[in-house]
Structure 1
């Protein structure tokens, strides 16, 4: 199922101010991809804002406390960008998971993805996954070049689960390997759980 999502080639367009039934453009591809990745849209992506897309939007809106009117305006786009990813952003998350946690259990890989999503949603580290991942010093794998490795299908599945809200870390914003951590500051953060080689903290 995930590989079908990844295989679609939606247009990388900026969000339109308003999408509604009858809309048909690259923004609808983006919308449908985000909704499908987040678990609200089950049909093939077609770039057409029909009744099924409107129903999926209503489901997303209801889930995140928005007016469930089935149209996609500024508030809905804002929520979508905090709680979903487009195709290129999904690639970034999978690359972080693979480069940082490919030797960990599946839960441990999801946990790394959850930290990235938690950072996006917190608003403290920027508004996009690019802001979060490429913040100087934020992720070891970006600094040492491992981020350039090609993620496997497990990393993509873990990314999808993290986007859909599985968070084994209990809302953590940090993680570290206690055997290799050199920062004394990270030890001052309230710890939530250890999964494999990583301790997660707030």
Structure 2
């Protein structure tokens, strides 16, 4: 009996540990967690490609289909809720599996995940901008969340394929600064120096010509903001 209890406890511990190691995945992610995701989705009939450990268009479509059919936010981001729906569910694991910078281990509320994620994009996109330049970038992301033309979650907007350069080039993983965190919190509180913009870009960089057809609202630092 003691051996059975020990074995059961060991299995439960390993399950929690395995879940805790699961990362938040999105378009462009790669590695063993993507491979596990693809295998699970394939077993359940959502994914029909090779399990190659690379999160591309086929994996994105499979995740979206799975999320829709399971009552989840269909944003293509495999976070704690989607992992749980896939069968990797545990309270301790949910906290440990959140992305770096969510401060879950410091007792912050659930909303802190969004604050930290927003701050990471602000840092990645506007590290060298003024505080108001950072705040405006955060406001654009939140304006997209409120717009019917974009995903309705912060993660969905940020990880929408090709939406932000900092996600594509890895700058989203830069160390956070207090200023970017402050800008994220203030943007979520409603501050918007962009004037309701849905787009921003640096005109000194190569951008798609169509962006210049948007209604320009203002310029802050090196970024142009437009609807």
* Structure 1: gaps spanning 5 or more residues: 1-11, 15-25, 27-44, 48-84
1:148 to partner: Cα distance: 1.1
Supply the distance in 1 between the matched residues of 2:210 and 2:108 (Cα, whole angstroms).
48
1:96 corresponding residue in structure 2: 121
1:143 to partner: Cα distance: 0.6
Structure of higher CA gyration radius: 2
Task: Note if 1:153 corresponds to 2:150.
Answer: no
Q: Do the aligned partners of 1:193 and 1:200 also contact (CA within 8 Å) in 2? A: yes
Task: Note if 1:128 corresponds to 2:168.
Answer: no
* Structure 2: gaps spanning 5 or more residues: 1-78, 82-90, 92-106
TM-score calculated relative to the size of structure 1? 0.58
- SS class of match (1:200): strand
Supply the distance in 1 between the matched residues of 2:164 and 2:108 (Cα, whole angstroms).
36
Task: Note if 1:180 corresponds to 2:213.
Answer: no
Superposition pairs for residues 160-175 of structure 1, below 5 Å? 160-175=185-200
TM-score calculated relative to the size of structure 2? 0.52
Moved over 6 A (4+): none
RMSD over aligned Cα atoms: 2.3
Superposition pairs for residues 1-202 of structure 1, below 5 Å? 86-202=111-227
Q: Choose between structure 1 and 2 for higher RCO, CA contacts under 8 A separated by at least 6 residues.
A: 1
1:123 to partner: Cα distance: 2.9
Number of matched residues?
Answer: 125
